[in-house]
Structure 1
Amino acid sequence: MVSQIPKETCPRPFLKWAGGKGRLITQYIDYFPKHYKTYYEPFLGGGAIFFYLHPPAARLTDINAELITTYRCVRDHVEELISLLQAHQNKHNKDYYYDVRAYPEGNDIEKAARLIYLNKTCFNGLYRVNSQGKFNVPVGRYKNPSICAENILRTASAALSTSEIEQADFTNILNYAQSGDDFVYFDPPYYPLSETSYFTAYSSYSFGENKQLQLRDIFAELAQRGVKVMLSNSDCEFIRKLYSDFNIHTISATRSINSNAKKRGKITEVLVTSY
């Protein structure tokens, strides 16, 4: 079931992430199931929903290997990670950023510190890779970026301590979630509202229409098993038709990533539930 913890000690995301759900949680609260034992999130990203719910048991997965390595290091080696981030913070400048961006080598903790450092100092906190799978976001214009948020990292580490964290494709969920004791939240790359809004570059792994159809089939299979399933996606005819057999709720959101500032602003999204 959903745990209740004092607000001041609530864990929260340690990464900025495109499509993060932190600002939408107040609209989601009424739709979270009241009782479940194990929480599953196959598109982990920044993990805002996981950190808000703070479930007693969870299996967290993502296709992005660097992201999963980072979560594991926050869970298992947070003090060593903090030390490396403090070093990055002391050295940070534009030239240092591009030097770090150019060289992804190192052990897992060094790779995790690199990802967090780049995430906190790159333009808009945007995770994007090129066709070779290399991070290619330019440096952001921050006067004093918060690179090493020690309290956030330690609180996140404690929240992750009872979680399984694995690199996996979303289809892997069928091997685990089986019954009404399980709650699955899907936050996939959204179906594009236009050609210019087609952003799926969280990894070199694309998420086109066929993947959206496959995800719907998995959603339906889990629902048939009695699993509590919730999904976020674009508010468009394609998605509404795809999930027409389920409960569809309209959520008010803010589009914050667009090359044209005038095209940022309020939009609607859908929240689909099986229950």
Structure 2
Amino acid sequence: MKRLPPLIKWSGSKQSQAIFIASCAPNNFNTYYEPFLGGGAVVGILQPRKAVCSDINNPLIALWKLIKEKPGLVVKNYGENWNELQKEGYKFFYKARDRFNHGESPHDLLFLSRTCVNGLIRYNQQGKFNNSLHYTRKGIHPDRFAKIATDWNQRIKNCVFLTTDYRKATKNARRDDFIYLDPPYFNTRGRYFGTINFEEFLNYLSGLNDKGIKFALSYDGMRADKNYIVEIPKTLYKRHLLVPFGNSTFKKVQDRKVEKVYESLYLNF
């Protein structure tokens, strides 16, 4: 398996862990489900023969559909936005941010993710994108992005993309399918797009076990000497792995300290 450059920068992306997570997938499965798609790092590595990928973020899913169906249009729009940023500087970034908050264009979402501070997709309590321009970075060059978009287009040809919640997205899953789950952390409380009810989610996992459906769950973890591991009932999984996630982005931004981060991977098989 070869590491794949991200199509879109996404908070909580499993870019650095995707190869390891993909290596933990069952040797054989029918349909692959990823109901918290985000940056799609794992599906990009797995390249399943049949997949259902979803998220509740509508412009994000719209972007994935465009990459699958009209990658040239995505590349063209990104190039135009990138060139305007080089001409107008910060004024264009905030113009694009305002435009996105009013129209939720997938093209604007892509551009913002590539030019905002550390690529952190953040929303305020009103659901508006609120991260700032990363002044020391110009964003990925359009020529390089075009190559990435072409690569992703080839990797997601067998994917169906849906804008819906995780329960509806996986309602047709069966015993011979595999689900990868990467939900928003319970303690982030809406700083990023979307939250889930923790108890309802645990009941959902229990239901997957009852149906004999294999799943892998990325959740909680550790940072330096701080333990953020949540009490996932041991009856819901068979293996709990701590996977290196890299360094804390927030610490690097706030006080330049480097702290190693590990995330949990729970497997029910």
**Could you say which TM-score interval applies, normalised by the shorter chain?**
0.7 to 0.9
The two structures, once aligned, show a CA RMSD in angstroms of 2.4
- How far apart are the structure 1 equivalents of 2:68 and 2:103? 16
Q: Tell me the SS of whatever aligns to 1:218.
A: helix
Percent identity over the alignment is 25
Give 1:45's aligned amino acid. G
Matches within 5 A, 1:171-186: 171-180=167-176, 182-186=177-181
- C-alpha deviation, 1:132, in angstroms: 2.5
**What per-residue deviation string (whole Å, max 9, x for no partner) do you get for residues 98-122 of structure 1?**
11111138988xx221111111001
> Which consecutive residues of structure 1, in runs of 5 or more, have no partner in the other structure?
193-197
- How far apart are the structure 1 equivalents of 2:149 and 2:171? 30
1:188 pairs with one of 171, 183, 186:
183
- TM-score, structure 2 as length reference: 0.86
Q: Tell me the SS of whatever aligns to 1:50.
A: helix
- TM-score, structure 1 as length reference: 0.84
1:73 alignment partner in structure 2? 66
- C-alpha deviation, 1:151, in angstroms: 0.9
Q: Tell me the SS of whatever aligns to 2:215.
A: strand
> Which consecutive residues of structure 2, in runs of 5 or more, have no partner in the other structure?
222-226
Structure 1's consecutive aligned runs of 4 or more residues displaced over 4 angstroms after TM superposition are 105-108
Matches within 5 A, 1:187-226: 187-192=182-187, 198=188, 200-203=190-193, 205-207=194-196, 211-226=197-212
1:142 pairs with one of 130, 136, 144:
136
1:233 alignment partner in structure 2? 219
Rate the CA distance shift 1:115–1:30 in 2: closer, same or farther, 3 A: closer
- How far apart are the structure 1 equivalents of 2:259 and 2:41? 21
Rate the CA distance shift 1:171–1:261 in 2: closer, same or farther, 3 A: farther
2:28 alignment partner in structure 1? 35
- C-alpha deviation, 1:16, in angstroms: 1.1
1:86 alignment partner in structure 2? 79
Rate the CA distance shift 1:220–1:107 in 2: closer, same or farther, 3 A: same
- Number of aligned residue pairs: 256
- C-alpha deviation, 1:66, in angstroms: 1.3
| Pairing 1:250–2:242 present | yes
Q: Tell me the SS of whatever aligns to 2:218.
A: strand
